[in-house]
């Protein structure tokens, strides 16, 4: 046991002989670090809250923790000195609290001896120090709805990547910050607006909204033209590909050749081996249309699955109702059989009662003429028989009433069950109709999708000119109808397009990534996206601490933010995107910091998860709580609505995902299989599949009923966030090692982006 007394004597005779102690200036700082982490309004160990002198005086399970004017008698001092079998903070505590130093105990004693007076909390300006270069974890990742761009936060920087070209395209920065940083503190949260034109970022006590500005192409600066490949190479390519080459161009590094062919395709070849690299077809418009159709198909499949589950549930309910209906009808038959017999018994008991009453009357008449012991005895016997007869009549009447009541109850049960089955039949009919409608929409979308895909294989307009961009990451082609199209070489995804109506003979590539087609007055917009700071929101007192979550509403007009003071409050602030002003402030929505949030698809509800282990769903218009979900034993680190709004998924730091049925407000499924914290989750497009990140070095995809779809394992470090393209073809995740990884649908790693 540690002994502090000699040191305390030293302090009491020299250092501590000072002016009156102020609680919030002198005492609160070391109590907050080593005591209040376990003794606060959220985590009130031993029922003791030490956040204010008044609460310490009120005390806990062992009584008041302070005795004003008498520090030697105060439990808080005894515990700090490890006296009377008390040792605070306890060794190996999870809060990382350490023993108070002799100086701190001396200050604590002096404050108590001076009366343990309260004081006025003083707001201190937080001075943020520069972050070390080694502090660069990825805590947040967000993807545009079309899957084209992904942004991540590293330390206090924001990086933007083009997933089509698999390149870093921009580092989003605030001019007032140093070294190209976006914030002064760590980037805790990110979210793209639904249309991808805005990006919100949350940090310590501030939110910034960035807006996309597309600069005009600078095609006149150092314009270059890709030289055509030699006729010898073209002949070899034509023979290998069994096509007629209409136009060609060499990349500026001489490693690749692009050809426009008579089958309408644009193909890239390896210049050294003449092996095909990728075939480029389609346009931005067709890709967008296919994405919309994919979404529609997934949504209709989800709708059919839900309706089928409803039919199965109702049919199971009908089976139970059929059992009850059978029992009710059986009861009617049984009671109807015994009722006549019971009714026949009533007149007999009535006659017996009447006869017994007559006998009593006759004996009473005899006894009235003369008192006689024998007659009195006879009267007593007659009265006993009367009582027995009356009881028999009552029993007979009760038996009849019970039988009639049983018949009536059974008939009521039959009517109620029949009505329930009628309602169920209508519900099943409605569900089947919904399935039919959804199937028709799905089939129509699938047919339209097949038409588009088939059209991509057919030549509608042949290429007349092709070109590489300066970095060979993009290929442009002009078709016979004058249309100019640009693709990413590494992925084959269409990037840009521009319409035209006249023939073009040459394509010029500019350093900024744009292309100019001569003889046609048009340019692509293939320049690097430029993000500028539109608004900084950091009004005094609006955010108590770190902004752990940001999310745009489905219409992009509202930004929800989640934060609060750890172990003190969980705050949700709704901001108007156009003005940056707070439209709603839900202070202390949770008892601890809000870590995650998500809008319902219709934008009418907001789900929030917090360090208080609780998820809540709130009606936005009224601020009324609709649901409170308690299913986690640790922080709720992620929340996400399914596309139809019927299911909410929550991620827990105890290593589980829980899905909730939003129709009945109850737990749907508890999904296990993680060994550490599940740090984030997101529903993939319009499906029932959920992509998750976790501390067990995995990105795992599960269904909302607990089935595992895929697990990407053996990732080098703790994963903090993961997102997916709507069709699940691309998954991106980041974590403690600062690498942003990209996988395809099979889980194959395609690229790992570093800081450079």
Question: 555 with 697, same domain?
Answer: yes
Q: pTM score, two decimals?
A: 0.82
As a whole number, the mean pLDDT across the chain is 89
Alpha carbons 165 and 233: distance in angstroms, whole number: 27
Which pLDDT band holds residue 675 (cuts at 50, 70, 90)?
A: very high
CATH number at residue 574: 2.130.10.10
| pLDDT score, position 387 | 93
pLDDT of residue 8: 37
Q: Which residues contact 39 (CB under 8 A, 6 or more apart)?
A: 45, 46, 48, 49, 50, 51, 60
pLDDT above 50 for 209: yes
Q: Which of 88-102, 629-643, 736-750 has the lowest mean pLDDT?
A: 88-102
Task: Tell me which residue of 233, 247, 235, 239 sits closest to 462, measured CA to CA.
Answer: 247
Q: Looking at residue 568, what is its pLDDT?
A: 83
Strands 730-735 and 719-724: antiparallel
- Calculate mean pLDDT across residues 660-688: 97
Of 183-192, 275-284, 516-525, 634-643, minimum mean pLDDT range: 516-525
In a domain, 494, yes or no: yes
DSSP string, 576-611: ETTT--EEEEEEEEESS-EEEEEE-TTSSEEEEEET
In a domain? residue 118: no
Q: pLDDT tens digits for 276-300?
A: 999 999 999 999 999 999 999 999 9
Do the domain assignments include residue 665? yes
Domain C-terminal end among 535, 566, 586: 535
What pLDDT score was predicted for residue 756?
65
Query: Which residues lie below 8 Å from residue 730, measured CB to CB, with a gap of 6+?
Result: 147, 163, 724, 742, 743, 744, 745
Instruction: Supply the pLDDT for residue 316.
Output: 97
In this prediction, residue 625 has a pLDDT band, given cuts at 50, 70 and 90, of very high
- Mark whether 247 and 104 lie in a shared domain: no
- Do 660 and 555 fall into the same domain? yes
Residues 694, 570 share a domain:
yes
Domain that holds residue 679: 536-753
Tell me, what CATH number does 178's domain have? Answer: 2.110.10.10
Same domain, residue pair 702 and 622 = yes
Q: For 465-498, write each residue's pLDDT tens digit.
A: 999 998 999 999 998 888 889 999 999 999 998 8
Encode pLDDT of 296-335 as tens digits.
999 999 999 999 999 999 999 999 999 999 999 999 999 8
Domain match, 425 and 511 both: no
Give the pLDDT confidence of 677-722 residue by residue, as tens digits: 999 999 999 999 999 999 999 999 999 999 999 999 989 889 999 9
How far, in Å, CA of 354 to CA of 331, rounded? 34
Which pLDDT value is given to residue 17? Answer: 47
571-582: pLDDT as tens digits: 999 999 999 999
- Residue 438 inside a domain? The answer is no
What lies within 8 Å, CB to CB, of 744 at 6+ separation is 729, 730, 731, 750
| Residue with the larger pLDDT of the pair 548 and 33 | 548
What pLDDT is recorded for position 221? 47
Task: Give the end of a domain, one of 507, 535, 563.
Answer: 535
Pick from 743, 740, 688: nearest CA to 713: 743
State residue 127's pLDDT score. 59
- Asked if residue 745 and residue 617 are part of one domain, the reply reads yes
User: Residue 738 has what pLDDT?
Assistant: 94
With respect to residue 165, please indicate whether it lies within any of the assigned structural domains. Answer: yes
Helices H, strands E: what count in the chain? 8, 38
What integer is the mean pLDDT of 639-659?
A: 98
| Contact yes or no for 200/191 (Cβ under 8 A) | yes
pLDDT at 1: 33
Domain identity same for 365 and 472:
no
Same domain membership, residue 414 and residue 300: yes
Strands (E), 276-375: 276-280
Average pLDDT over residues 507-514: 73
At residue 460, the pLDDT reads 76
Considering the domain architecture, whether residues 479 and 562 belong to the same structural domain is answered as no
Can you give the length of the chain in residues?
Answer: 756
For residue 89, say if its preceding peptide bond is cis, omega within 30 degrees of 0: yes
**Contact partners, residue 173, CB within 8 Å, separation at least 6:** 157, 158, 180, 181, 182
Distance set, CA 34 to CA 16, 90, 333, 596, 621 (Å): 21, 10, 75, 27, 41
Cβ burial of 736 (10 Å; 0-12, 13-18, 19+) is middle
The gap between the terminal CA atoms of the chain, to the nearest Å, is: 52
Does some domain include residue 621? yes
CA torsion sign for 146, 150, 151, 152 is positive
- Gap between the Cα atoms of 75 and 32, Å rounded: 17
Is the model more confident about 756 or about 693? 693
Residue 504 belongs to some domain of the structure: yes
Residues 562 and 675 in one domain: yes
Do 396 and 349 contact (CB within 8 A), yes or no? yes
355 & 404 share domain: yes
Structure tokens at 590: 């949770």
Q: What is the pLDDT of residues 188-207, one digit of tens each?
A: 999 999 999 999 999 999 99
703 domain residue, yes or no:
yes
pLDDT at 13 (0 to 100): 38
Number of domains in the chain: 5
Share of the chain above pLDDT 70, in %: 91
| pLDDT at residue 5, rounded to an integer | 35
3-state percent breakdown (helix, strand, coil) of the chain, nearest 5: 30, 30, 40
What sign for the dihedral angle of Cα 179, 156, 196, 141? positive
The residue from 98, 113, 128 where one domain ends is 113
Q: What is the pLDDT of residue 525?
A: 47
């Amino acid at each position: 046991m540690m002994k502090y007394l000699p040191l305390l004597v030293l302090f009491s005779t020299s250092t501590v002989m000072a002016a009156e102690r102020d609680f919030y200036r002198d005492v609160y700082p070391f109590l907050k670090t080593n005591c209040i982490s376990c003794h606060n309004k959220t985590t009130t160990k031993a029922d003791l809250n030490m956040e204010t002198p008044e609460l310490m005086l009120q005390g806990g399970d062992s009584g008041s923790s302070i005795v004003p004017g008498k520090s030697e008698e105060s439990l808080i001092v005894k515990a700090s000195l490890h006296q009377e079998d008390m040792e605070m903070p306890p060794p190996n505590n999870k809060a990382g609290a350490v023993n108070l130093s002799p100086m701190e105990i001396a200050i604590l004693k002096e404050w108590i001896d001076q009366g343990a007076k309260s004081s006025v909390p003083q707001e201190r300006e937080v001075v943020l120090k520069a972050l070390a270069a080694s502090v660069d974890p990825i805590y947040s990742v967000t993807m545009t709805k079309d899957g084209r761009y992904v942004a991540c936060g590293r330390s206090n920087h924001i990086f933007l990547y083009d997933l089509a070209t698999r390149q870093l395209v921009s580092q989003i920065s605030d001019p007032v910050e140093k070294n190209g940083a976006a914030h002064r503190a760590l980037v805790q949260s990110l979210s793209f607006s639904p249309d991808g034109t805005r990006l919100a970022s949350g940090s310590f006590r501030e939110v910034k909204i960035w807006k996309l500005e597309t600069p005009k192409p600078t095609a006149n600066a150092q314009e270059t033209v890709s030289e055509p490949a030699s006729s010898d190479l073209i002949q070899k390519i034509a023979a290998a590909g069994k096509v007629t080459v209409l136009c060609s161009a060499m990349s500026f590094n001489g490693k690749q050749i692009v050809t426009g062919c008579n089958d309408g395709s644009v193909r890239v070849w390896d210049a050294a081996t003449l092996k095909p690299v990728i075939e480029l077809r389609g346009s931005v418009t067709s890709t967008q249309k296919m994405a919309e159709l994919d979404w529609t198909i997934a949504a209709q499949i989800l709708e059919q699955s839900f309706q089928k589950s409803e039919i199965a549930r109702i049919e199971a309910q009908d089976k139970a109702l059929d059992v009850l209906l059978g029992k009710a009808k059986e009861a009617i038959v049984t009671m109807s059989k015994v009722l006549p017999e019971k009714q026949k018994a009533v007149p007999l008991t009535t006659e017996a009662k009447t006869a017994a009453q007559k006998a009593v009357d006759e004996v009473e008449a005899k006894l009235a003429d003369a008192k006689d012991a024998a007659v009195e005895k006879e009267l007593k016997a007659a009265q006993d028989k009367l009582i027995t007869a009356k009881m028999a009549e009552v029993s007979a009447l009760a038996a009849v009433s019970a039988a009639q009541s049983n018949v009536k109850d059974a008939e009521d049960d039959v009517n109620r069950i029949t009505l329930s089955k009628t309602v169920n039949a209508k519900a099943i009919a409605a569900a089947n109709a919904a399935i039919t409608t959804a199937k028709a929409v799905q089939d129509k979308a699938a047919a339209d999708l097949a038409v588009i895909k088939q059209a991509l294989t057919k030549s509608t307009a042949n290429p007349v000119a092709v070109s590489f961009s300066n970095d060979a990451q993009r290929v442009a082609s002009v078709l016979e109808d004058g249309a100019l199209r640009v693709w990413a070489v590494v992925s084959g995804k269409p990037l840009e397009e521009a319409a035209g109506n006249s023939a073009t003979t040459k394509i010029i590539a500019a350093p900024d990534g744009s292309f100019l087609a001569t003889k046609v007055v048009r340019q692509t917009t293939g320049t690097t996206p430029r993000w500028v700071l539109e608004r900084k929101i950091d009004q005094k007192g609006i955010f108590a601490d770190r902004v752990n979550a940001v999310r745009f509403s489905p219409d992009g007009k509202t930004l929800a933010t989640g934060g609060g003071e750890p172990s003190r409050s969980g705050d949700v602030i709704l901001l108007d995107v156009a003005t940056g002003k707070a439209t709603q402030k839900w202070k202390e929505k949770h008892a601890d910091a809000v870590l995650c949030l998500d809008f319902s698809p219709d934008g009418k509800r907001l789900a929030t998860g917090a360090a208080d282990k609780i998820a809540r769903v709130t009606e936005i218009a009224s601020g009324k709580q609709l649901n409170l979900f308690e299913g986690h034993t640790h922080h709720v680190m992620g929340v996400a609505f399914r596309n139809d709004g019927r299911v909410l998924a929550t991620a827990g730091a105890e290593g589980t995902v829980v899905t909730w049925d939003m129709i009945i407000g109850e737990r749907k499924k508890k999904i296990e299989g993680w060994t550490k914290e599940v740090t984030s989750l997101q529903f993939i497009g319009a499906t029932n599949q959920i992509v998750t990140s976790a501390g067990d070095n995995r990105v795992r995809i599960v269904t909302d009923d607990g089935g595992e779809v895929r697990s990407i394992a053996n990732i080098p470090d703790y994963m903090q966030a993961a997102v997916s393209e709507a069709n699940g073809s691309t998954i991106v995740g980041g974590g403690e090692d600062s690498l942003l990884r990209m996988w395809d649908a099979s889980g194959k790693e395609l690229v790992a982006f570093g800081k450079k």
